[in-house]
Chain A
Amino acid sequence: EDKVVQSPLSLVVHEGDTVTLNCSYEVTNFRSLLWYKQEKKAPTFLFMLTSSGIEKKSGRLSSILDKKELFSILNITATQTGDSAIYLCAVEARGANNLFFGTGTRLTVIP
């Protein structure tokens, strides 16, 4: 059965800190891994990763995938209070038509 495990489950940091969120997965016929940010509403899309070793970057956020070790990390540098949210990792398998989500990492950034 497909599995996505995120760690840590929750994290509290001070503004300006750098954080690394982890996502490991087991899925048959992997196609893509996605990161979403969820505040008190719908998940908003951050990154889609399909190839190993290619970093995707958007402002202070970046992510990379390791298909050999079956994990991805999401880095946030110079954290701000607006980064406080639940960060969800999801995988998609070839031939499947849905995303399989982990339980998320709750990030709290303290001023």
Chain B
Amino acid sequence: DTGVSQDPRHKITKRGQNVTFRCDPISEHNRLYWYRQTLGQGPEFLTYFQNEAQLEKSRLLSDRFSAERPKGSFSTLEIQRTEQGDSAMYLCASSLAQVQGLTPYEQYFGPGTRLTVT
């Protein structure tokens, strides 16, 4: 058990519907990341937060995607008007913040939310 939890674990939705996923990071971790993984591929970075600030977004994160981390603890990822191409495993990870000049910290992943868009 890595300590990162995600909910739900599975979601089946119809094309055009909105979905929201939740991630609870390891409690002392101030960095939170979202990745997407499709079959046969490694995880691809979507976005990350340091505390409540969203500091980076990938080109993969279209306008239909929005992520929040309002209090610097849990985060939500919402996909609006889902498309079949959104079907994937959505992974959340957390880590401590890097300190410049020191060894970086590893990211710990949650179990993921598997989204199927029909």
Interface residues of A (CB under 8 A from B): 4, 31-32, 34, 36, 41-45, 48, 50, 88, 90, 92, 97-104
Contact = CB atoms under 8 A, between A and B. Distances in A.
Interface stretch (B12-20, B66-74, B76-84, B103-111): B103-111
Q: Is the interface of A mostly helix, strand, loop or mixed?
A: strand
B46 to A, nearest CB: 9
Interface of B: 2, 4, 31, 33, 35, 40-45, 48, 50, 55-56, 58, 91, 103-104, 106-112
B104 A31 contact: yes
A32 B104 contact: yes
Contacts of A43: 43, 91, 109
A101 B107 CA distance: 13
A103 B40 contact: yes
B42 A101 contact: yes
A38 to B, nearest CB: 9
A108 to B, nearest CB: 15
B33 A98 contact: yes
B2 A42 contact: yes
Contacts of B106: 34, 45, 48
A99 B107 contact: yes
B104 A42 contact: no
Contacts of A44: 2, 109
A103 B42 contact: yes
Contacts of B110: 42
Given A44-B109, A98-B33, A103-B42, 5 more contacts: A34-B106, A42-B110, A88-B43, A92-B104, A101-B41
Contact of A99 (B2, B45, B56, B103): B45
